[in-house]
Chain A
Amino acid sequence: MSLSRSPSPVPGGGWASPGLTNNLSPSGRSSPTKAYAGSNGTPVMWERQKNMGGAAYQSFSTQNQGFFSRHMRRISSSLPRFKADNTHGAEREKIGQGRWNMPRLGRIRGITGRMSRRTKMLLAFALLFLLGYIIFYSTPLVYYYRRTSWLGGGQKFVIILAANVGGGVMEWKGAREWAIERDSIRNKKKYVAKWGYDLEIVDMSTKKRYAHEWRESWEKVDFIRSTLRKYPKAEWVWWLDLNTFIMEPSKSLQDHIFDHIEDVTYRDINEYNPLNISHPPADPYLDELSKSPIGDGNPNSIHLMLSQDCSGFNLGSFFMRRGTWTDHLLDVWWDPVAYEQKHMEWEHKEQDALEQLYTAQPWIRKSTAFLPQRMINSFPTGACSEKGTDPRIHYDQKDRDFLVNMAGCEWGRDCWGEMYNFRELSYHLNRSLWERFKEDLLCWIWFKLTGKKVKF
């Protein structure tokens, strides 16, 4: 303490610091030192003489020379100090110049003490703004916050995206297929980066392992299993087909579904039952829980969330939660005996198998919940269109549906066209304020004035 308790400079008065005035000294100080130079210290004089050549002795009478020289002290002493003056005669030599030798806090207090209240407030606001900017825009802090399991919880979600369906041996991808894949992947990557989830892109190309008649299309099960193994912190996996587009990337999964699972899901399939599955199971040997239409009613028991379209279960977009129940389901989902008997009827393979399991085995119903289709799986008007548009099934831009699944577009519809339209629509709906201002107002005014459509 005693070392640094050097006399503070008094504004307007003070004392010179001899020997400090060497222009070449590495003090890191940018204020002019002329005034000091004039007031004392022969070495400086000597320097000056050298610099100024002939006009040597004049400098003695230059105390009041020019505005800066006259007001130097006043100005400089009101400036914040970045370096305290070395005034201790004894210490001056041994402690290097240009070192801090006042306690930092004291120095800051000195600076703030000299500020007016208004400046302080302004500065505080500026700091706050800067901090906000750094936190929200230029650091990954938000990302880590959203990702951490005990804060944002993003680590608990993994999106599995099925890419390259049927690719490989069976067919070559054309330009459109590449474009679809690129857009779909980019869409999910952005979403995942925004909310701190993980994305697992799986290759669904036809492989020899699955080419056997019995095992075709059961990659899904294997991929879910391996994804759960790969991301040990993941609690939920979200399966997405390639022909899907997240229309509202600003909605997190937590906000959209998981913070209020009990409100958004329905357990009783009778609410919407296109397959006419009799529910609840009525076998006399079952316990009350298995016979209950809503299971135990507790969202903790939900391990599978899917939606139904016009023809039953749809596995283009569904959630599975890590747990024993899921292990069991993934294990029994594929069974050679079932497949041998049913593979001619089961057009949708694992989807039909799940329907069969759901119908036959009451334990499946206890942990299955349904989401209204338009929460996770809206269809474009081309799909399920036999009975016209259905507000339960089809995308409606007014409601800002979360995700579009261009289901079945490879059967005679234009996948790329649909993907492109929905992509553009999503951008349009999620424009920033500035973009809205430009496009809705400026372009409109320009159009009124000149009659020409422009884009800024």
Chain B
Amino acid sequence: MHFAYPPRKSSNPPPFRPRTSALPTIRGKRLKTIVLIGLAFLTLLWLFQRGGRSRHAPPAYHKPSGNPPVVIVTVFNEGKYGKGYLDMVKENRLKYAEKHGYGTFFVKSSDYDLRGAPVSWATLPAVRHAMTEFPDASYIWYLDQNAFIMNPQLKIEEHVMKPSRLEELMIKDHPVVPPDSIIKTFSHLKGHDVDFVLTQDKDGLSSSSFVVKNGEWAKFFLETWFDPIYRTYNFQKAEQHALEHIVQWHPTILAKLALVPQRILNSYSKEKGGQEYKEGDLAVRLYACGEAGEDTCETESQRFAQWKAAYQDS
């Protein structure tokens, strides 16, 4: 019997093979269980966590869709002026609104209970009312009764309210109440942060023509402005001085306000009060006209009758 010798073992031990992975025992099935356990753990975490995002979401208020884009608000003080004059004022706004698809909102100052405050306070509930009636309007433009829209080509949302346009127009770092209020308009305001646009005349802020962006801030602002405590305070110029007051004392209001050059929104008929109207301006306000005497508003308005021609041209 002859058996071959088994092959000699090499005297060099076989080299160590490197590990196939860092954790050699984790593979295949084991990996699956580990993944499952991990998933179970995550599920537990998810179950035990409190206060999901939905619970503490910011409140969802109605966002205006922009239909109509602008509503023009005017408060009529009917006892004081002749009907013909007021009809002309209405017609002026209606034609402009019709041209651009805007809404109009005309009310009488006697519609609102002001609890003994001066009639001019009716501006504020009127604007607030317009926001109620036109919840989808983007902007509310309040225009004084003794003012006329002179240039129907200009659209509010482009001429004034477009953020890029606003950034050009805004008067920054300027005393809110001229000449020497220490409260100045913000110098780093962005166009899309502006919710309230108005102008200054020689006396201070002018509330005869202003634009408000419809929304929660506007409601807060108008209701604050209309607070009975300001109405009973006997501000010399009623709501106008109340506005100067809240703008200077409450930064959340100042932070949304932009001052624009007067002739953008609110040219005056006389140089005495502020910047005088020039051809091509959007609107003119008959400054300090009275119901009787030499320059009644009706006679004054004759000077600006050319607005009718502007509609005929276009």
A-side residues, CB < 8 A to B, are 1-3, 90, 103, 105-106, 145, 149-153, 156, 235, 254, 258-259, 283-287, 289-290, 296, 298-301, 323-325, 327-328, 331-332, 335-338, 340-342, 356-357, 360-363, 367
Contact = CB atoms under 8 A, between A and B. Distances in A.
B220 A1 contact: no
Contact of B224 (A2, A3, A323, A332): A332
B216 A324 contact: yes
A300 B45 contact: no
A336 B246 CA distance: 10
B299 interface: no
B131 to A, nearest CB: 7
A299 B57 CA distance: 10
B129 interface: yes
B128 A285 contact: yes
Contacts of A332: 224, 246, 250, 252
Interface string B181-211: 0000000000000000000000000000000
B132 A286 contact: yes
Nearest to A334: B249
Nearest to A105: B25
Given A300-B57, A363-B219, A328 B229 contact: no
B137 to A, nearest CB: 12
Interface residues of B, number: 48
B135 interface: yes
Give 6 nearest A-B pairs by CB, closest first: A285-B129, A301-B59, A287-B132, A331-B252, A153-B51, A361-B223
16 contacts: A2-B17, A90-B13, A103-B24, A283-B125, A285-B128, A298-B60, A300-B56, A301-B61, A325-B216, A328-B252, A331-B251, A332-B224, A357-B227, A360-B227, A360-B228, A362-B223
A337 B58 CA distance: 32
A323 B112 contact: no
B219 A290 contact: yes
Nearest to B20: A1
Contacts of B217: 324, 328
Interface string B55-75: 111111110000000000000
B9 interface: no
A141 B126 CA distance: 58
A405 to B, nearest CB: 26
Contacts of A289: 61-62
A361 B60 CA distance: 20
B127 to A, nearest CB: 9
Contacts of A259: 50-51
Contact of B50 (A1, A103, A153, A336): A153
Q: Which secondary structure dominates chain A's binding surface?
A: helix
B131 A287 contact: yes
B59 A296 contact: yes
Contacts of B230: 337
A335 B223 contact: no
A337 B228 CA distance: 11
Most B CB contacts (10 A, CB to CB) among A145, A235, A331 go to: A331
B14 interface: yes
A300 B60 contact: yes
A151 B49 contact: yes
A3 B16 contact: yes
Most A CB contacts (10 A, CB to CB) among B128, B132, B230, B253 go to: B132
B19 interface: yes
Given A287-B131, A360-B228, A323 B51 contact: no
B233 interface: yes
A360 B48 CA distance: 43
B252 A2 contact: no
Nearest to A301: B59
Given A1-B17, A337-B233, A151 B48 contact: yes
Given A285-B129, A332-B224, A156 B51 contact: yes
A153 B111 CA distance: 50
Nearest to A145: B48
Contacts of A286: 128, 132
B49 A363 contact: no
Given A3-B16, A105-B25, A156-B51, A360 B229 contact: yes
A105 B22 CA distance: 13
A356 B227 CA distance: 9
Contacts of A327: 252
